Structure 1
Amino acid sequence: MEKVYTPVQDEEISHVIRRRLFSEVNEKEARNTIEEFLDYAEREKILPEGVEKVKYRERFVQSFPFQPEVIDVLYKRWGSFPTFQRTRGVLRILALIVHSLKDSKNSFIRLGDFDLKNDEIKMELIKHIGQEYNGIIAADITSRDAGAKKVDRSLGDAYSPFSFGTKSANVIFMSSFSGGPERGAGINEGVQKLRAFCPRWGITPT
């Protein structure tokens, strides 16, 4: 008998991803982490205008350990490429991201955490946008002389472990592509800080 596959609805995507990638998520710890993050974000005024704390909290609870923007950008922007296969594409990339961060002590996963030096992650992305971006990523983000690395070094030894330049560049790169009419990053400073927020040390780029 032929199986009938029901497409995943937009509002179900976070649940599907969590179920496929993690055997379990400690809900109590997740809520505590999210609350700590939101208190900090509100105090430092990095919640973008128009983002309601209550609604954002619930979205984060559903997507944890991924920040909601991770799912949004992959599913809605990258997922609009005909070659991406939406849910399957998101799962493929996030499985690689989770594996690359298996030794990380971060409390949750942001767009800034995407390691574009990782060949598997990089190739999974650029196959949708063109091989020419291999050189662009190296020149702008990942090589020692890349602009992002120069920013990292310019901030001094005290901030070098945070890789603010690289994480911000990762966010801009991931937010810049779409297979539909929505092109360019189109993110304001508040959104940029939110997506590059560094949970391990509880600080954010200034």
Structure 2
Amino acid sequence: MTTPRRFPTLLQLEQREGALFTVLGNLTKRPYWFHLEYLKSPKAVRLEAWLMEAIFGRGGEHIPHVECVSQTLLHVNQWDPEGEAEILIFGRPYYQKDVSKMIMNLADYHRQLRAQCLEKVPVQDAATQEAATQSSPKAAQEEATQRSPDTAREVATQRSPDTAREVATQRSPKAAREAATQRSPKAAREAATQRSPKAAREAATQRSPKAAREA
């Protein structure tokens, strides 16, 4: 037979097979308000095992305080942490009733609290995923400006022909003048030989006297 877990109490009680509960230890140290005849008719309350520490604290450390306030003795039988636990309440009948009601109310409260905690976990996970996918426009701009140089060159080389022509025609005036002065020698000679008749006559009349006599 599996031995139940032992919780602290003002008086350690033991139930023998086919017999009443007996008090372990020195009977002279029992509380003044507790009488041995109360051991004959305990009131039993059965709850989930995990509620024992939720109601009475870690390891049942609050049980002695509850016993002092309620003037009852609590004997807890818990064999399996994942199963059920049994609370036996010893004392006057109306005290037994009050303590039993208090324990059941606390059990309902902790069940609801646990259910709310379990419901919040999936909701928080979904909210985290949405926040990650819905980044702000500012973050998107920063990501765009922080692209690598290789990516920037690829974007520049993949421009459409129309975009390239627009960029070429929109050069600054200074760039246009520099381009004009850097024509090839052939283009310069052709431009020189294609002067207007008026410019040719002016050039002929403005020759030096020596050139005119030789002519």
Same fold, TM exceeding 0.5?
Answer: no
Higher strand share: 2
Normalising by structure 1, report the TM-score: 0.20
| Bigger-Rg structure (1/2) | 2
Q: Which has the higher contact order (CA 8 A, sep 6+)?
A: 1
Normalising by structure 2, report the TM-score: 0.19
